[in-house]
Amino acid sequence: MARIAIPIGEDFEDSEFQEPYDRLLKAGHSVVVIGLEPGATVRGKKGTATATIEQTAADLDPADFDALVIPGGYSPDHLRTDEDVVDFVRRFFESGKPVAAICHGPQLLIEADVVEGRELTSWPSIRTDLQNAGATWIDEEVVEDDNLITSRSPEDLDPFCEAILDRLPLKIGKPHRETIG
């Protein structure tokens, strides 16, 4: 069983938080929602999902987690101004463990200064920001570069979640997904 951190703030993309969160829990993993104020409830920009912040990044050590998943929406833009969140993302990325970001999520990776020389994808409006930060932007549903997993949009959630789950240890005796065939 893996322990996954999900940094989130107001106006996150509802499905980009909820679907990975639910699938990770269903696979038997532990998920910790991190943000700016413990106990605060943050809302998705479409109003279909809410999340309660469990801990702040300042109170956590990346060594205590196996993966980091960054949802998109406006949340990354809100979080990128918090030095503790940015520092947590940077230190986590440097650990070499899986870091997954979807849609606008790579904004946090840009702020953490970890995209130079990497191949990524994102929502199209983040493309120039990534290129200016030294990344190579690729228009594919999932782009994997070493420990980095990125996707473009909610339409890519299924392969995005599969890529994350493929990088995590399986719960003993149970596969993380159904096998077809």
Residues belonging to the active site: 103
- The alpha carbon of 57 is separated from its chain's Cα centroid by a whole number of angstroms, namely 14
CA separation for the pair 6, 175 (Å, rounded): 22
State the CB neighbour count (10 A cutoff) for residue 13.
25
Going 156 to 123 to 149 to 43, the CA torsion angle's sign is negative
Q: Six-digit token pair at 30?
A: 């532990």
- Secondary structure (H, E, C), 105-156: CHHHHHHCCCCCCCEECCCHHHHHHHHHCCCEECCCCEEEECCEEEECCHHH
Q: Tell me whether strands 55-56 and 67-70 are parallel, antiparallel or unpaired.
A: unpaired
Q: Six-digit token pair at 171?
A: 């719960």
CA separation for the pair 175, 39 (Å, rounded): 33
